[in-house]
Amino acid sequence: MEFSVLADSFNKMESTRKRLELTQLLVELFEKTPNEVISKIVYLIQGKLRPDFEGIELGVAEKLAIKAISKSSGISIKKIEEEYRKEGDLGYAASKILEQKTQTTFLVEDITVERVYETLFKISKLGGSRSQDMKIKYISSLLNDANPLEARYILKILLGSLRLGIAENTVMDALAIAFSGNKDNRKILEYAYNVSSDLGKVAEIIATKGLERIKKFEVVLFNPIRPMLADRVKSEEEAIGKMGTNFAAEYKLDGERVQIHVEGGKVVLFSRSLENISNYYPDIIEKIPKAIQADNAILEAEAVAINENTGDFLPFQELMHRRRKYKIEKAVTKYPITVNFFDILYCNGKICLELNYKDRREKLEKIVREDDFVKYIPMTIVKNENEIKDFLENSINAGSEGLMLKMLDKPYQAGSRGSNWLKLKREYQNELGDSLDLVVIGGFFGKGRRTGSYGTLLLATYDEDEDTFTSICKVGTGFSDEDLDQLYQILNPKVTIKKNPRINSEMEADVWFEPELVIEVVASEITISPIHQAAKDKIRKDAGLALRFPKFTGKIRLEKAAEDASTNEEVITLYKGQKKVAHDRNLI
Ligand code: AMP
């Protein structure tokens, strides 16, 4: 398939944000796509080469791309950098530059989607000392044969700056229309996606084998399942209102969610955002096979740091000491954990998602054998507010965050947030009090004691409609010296020359970061703001929402992707909830 077909589609898609138009453009593209390349096209649309859980990263830095453009065009690096600064996007800058170039050269070889994809794939595999030169060689050879529009999109994919604003649901709508003639069949595709986390694979199956085959989609071991998520409630009373008077309450432990795939001695671990995190937990890899009484299984657990002497749970940030490439063994002994199981999704070759909670918990307790390292999450059945209160108290005393409340007769809904699971944290019980997970988008250099670090950070919520990150506050309190050091180490490689186009902020920062890191903050209140962009125009015209007195809680949420951060919808709900509390107390 000619790459120009894809580049033309990308070009049209970039000029609209309307979901219906994007769907139509995708349908037209899919109809032109041969079956053998459909999965590649679906990955490329999302700016990827493979599903996220395979961890394939292109890892091409702007500087390297600039060298490659220079090599293929013969134009100096300085000139390219100037053009880049003018355009604000290297893809556009490259197409401008190559427009000058193509007048003097002729195209050597047509560029196909397959060739671009294979080359990008090779680049992603390169490592070691000579890899930079090889990357430049591969990129410039593509650019040599590319027309300006193609070059623009090759670079955007390489740099991870292709942002078409196409949500997974939109891709599924288009696949359903293109290959089954009916948008309503998206529901069937959604199931397949939720249990495989691989949209390319879903596309390939519907294109080559049809809808009937998708209906029989099987869970595959070592392919992560998209996790079920919980709604939040603020009080025991609200929980009873939503769940009735007979449901399970589990401790909500403050650790990292781990999806454990095991068969024989082979164990693979996935995080909540479906990243392969096996390397960080060699202790789980080693000890789990002995604890599992089944040929194979997919289980969910919360890994929690513990105090070795007392067995008490320690806060989440202790786990982050394990987020390192080297000397992980040392971290494993210094920061011991327990693995606390709470669900079973697959067992002995069979899916368990359809089983209700009660049956899954029973199965879990049959399959998993407890010991010092392996535990079940404490659970009890509750029937009234007092029973919830008592169990919440116990849970907090044991060092956990609160409770997860789960309907007994409901299945596991992969990939969805709903009211079959509710979370009740103690902090939700006071006014705003709720913590928010926010994306770090900018930094301000520290002064005094904080020189050499970012003393204050600019934070953003996730705007799901626009697929952007909207500023909501600056935060400069709650940081220990150690936190500032650690944040500096993490954030420094994320500094960009230009503000990423997905960042929506009127406030200027000293430096801009790639919007990737998520941290947790608490605040006293949400207020209307003329400067911040979160929920702009939603509560008041020409104004957004901001956090008042935000404070870092000490939690760097490395397990969350930027798109998992608190959304503007959530902030609006909190804002309205806070007004209601004030109203109920006759404060307004
Ligand atoms: P939150 O990150 O606040 O949305 O809370 C959801 C997270 O709580 C999950 O992703 C798990 O990491 C964690 N968690 C702790 N205990 C449980 C439990 N008993 N059941 C499910 N999730 C739990």
Model confidence over 280-329: pLDDT tens digits? 999 999 999 999 999 999 999 999 999 888 888 888 878 878 877 778 88
Q: How far apart are CA 519 and CA 476, in angstroms?
A: 13
C-alpha to C-alpha distances, 169 to 26, 131, 133, 183, 191, nearest whole angstrom = 12, 37, 39, 11, 12
CA of 259 to the centre of ligand 1 (A): 12
Taking Cα atoms as reference points, which of 119, 72, 128, 122 lies closest to residue 95?
72
pLDDT at position 232: 86
CB 170 within 8 A of CB 153: no
pLDDT at position 584: 53
pLDDT at position 383: 94
CA of 252 to the centre of ligand 1 (A): 6
pLDDT at position 149: 93
Query: Which of 231, 234, 273, 302 has most ligand 1 atoms within 8 Å of its beta carbon, as the pocket-test mutant?
Result: 302
Q: Closest ligand 1 atom, CA of 250?
A: 19
Domain spanning 229-429 has what CATH number? 3.30.470.30
pLDDT at position 3: 96
Residue nearest to atom 7 of ligand 1 (CA): 257
CA of 440 to the centre of ligand 1 (A): 22
**Mind telling me the catalytic residues?**
252
The answer, yes or no, to whether any atom of ligand 1 lies below 6 A from the CB of 29, is no
The answer, yes or no, to whether any atom of ligand 1 lies below 6 A from the CB of 557, is no
pLDDT at position 363: 98
Beta strand 256-263 with 247-252 is unpaired
The answer, yes or no, to whether any atom of ligand 1 lies below 6 A from the CB of 250, is yes
Question: How sure is the predictor about 524, in pLDDT bands with cuts at 50, 70 and 90?
Answer: confident
Tell me: the pLDDT tens digits for 162-192? 878 788 999 999 999 999 999 999 999 999 9
Tell me: the pLDDT tens digits for 350-362? 999 999 999 999 9
pLDDT at position 588: 45
CA of 571 to the centre of ligand 1 (A): 20
CA of 137 to the centre of ligand 1 (A): 46
274-288, 382-396, 439-453: least confident range? 439-453
For 357, the 3-state DSSP assignment is helix
Residue nearest to atom 22 of ligand 1 (CA): 252
**Mean predicted lDDT score pLDDT of the chain:** 90
Check pLDDT > 70 for residue 579. Answer: no
Tell me: the pLDDT tens digits for 460-481? 999 988 889 999 999 998 898 8
The answer, yes or no, to whether any atom of ligand 1 lies below 6 A from the CB of 360, is no
Check pLDDT > 80 for residue 79. Answer: yes
pLDDT at position 78: 92
Residue nearest to atom 8 of ligand 1 (CA): 252
Encoded tokens for 575: 């804002």
The answer, yes or no, to whether any atom of ligand 1 lies below 6 A from the CB of 343, is no
Tell me: the pLDDT tens digits for 12-68? 999 887 889 999 999 999 999 999 999 999 999 988 999 999 989 876 888 899 999
Beta strand 229-232 with 417-425 is parallel
Q: How far apart are CA 194 and CA 498, in angstroms?
A: 35
The answer, yes or no, to whether any atom of ligand 1 lies below 6 A from the CB of 423, is yes
**For the chain, what are the domain ranges?**
48-159, 229-429, 436-587
Question: How sure is the predictor about 430, in pLDDT bands with cuts at 50, 70 and 90?
Answer: very low
Tell me: the pLDDT tens digits for 202-245? 999 999 999 999 998 889 999 999 999 998 888 899 999 999 99
Structure-token match 């060699």, residue found: 282
Query: What is the model's pTM?
Result: 0.79
Average of per-residue pLDDT across 571-585: 72
DSSP secondary structure string for all residues of 417-431? EEEEEEEEEGGGGSS
Check pLDDT > 50 for residue 510. Answer: yes
The answer, yes or no, to whether any atom of ligand 1 lies below 6 A from the CB of 248, is no
Q: Closest ligand 1 atom, CA of 379?
A: 19
Question: How sure is the predictor about 87, in pLDDT bands with cuts at 50, 70 and 90?
Answer: confident
Q: Which long-range contacts (CB under 8 A, 24 or more apart) does 182-191 make?
A: 185/211, 188/214, 188/215, 189/214, 190/415, 191/217, 191/414
Is CATH 1.10.1040.10 correct for 48-159?
no
CA of 403 to the centre of ligand 1 (A): 9
Judged on CB neighbours under 10 Å (0-12, 13-18, 19+), 471 is: buried
Check pLDDT > 60 for residue 582. Answer: no
Question: How sure is the predictor about 386, in pLDDT bands with cuts at 50, 70 and 90?
Answer: very high
Residue nearest to atom 18 of ligand 1 (CA): 252
Q: Closest ligand 1 atom, CA of 229?
A: 6
The answer, yes or no, to whether any atom of ligand 1 lies below 6 A from the CB of 272, is yes
pLDDT at position 583: 53
CATH of 436-587, one of 3.20.20.210, 3.40.50.620, 3.40.367.20, 2.40.50.140: 2.40.50.140
CA of 425 to the centre of ligand 1 (A): 11
pLDDT at position 106: 58
Residue nearest to atom 3 of ligand 1 (CA): 423
85-99, 467-481, 508-522, 560-574: least confident range? 85-99
The answer, yes or no, to whether any atom of ligand 1 lies below 6 A from the CB of 252, is yes
Residue nearest to atom 17 of ligand 1 (CA): 252
Question: How sure is the predictor about 449, in pLDDT bands with cuts at 50, 70 and 90?
Answer: low
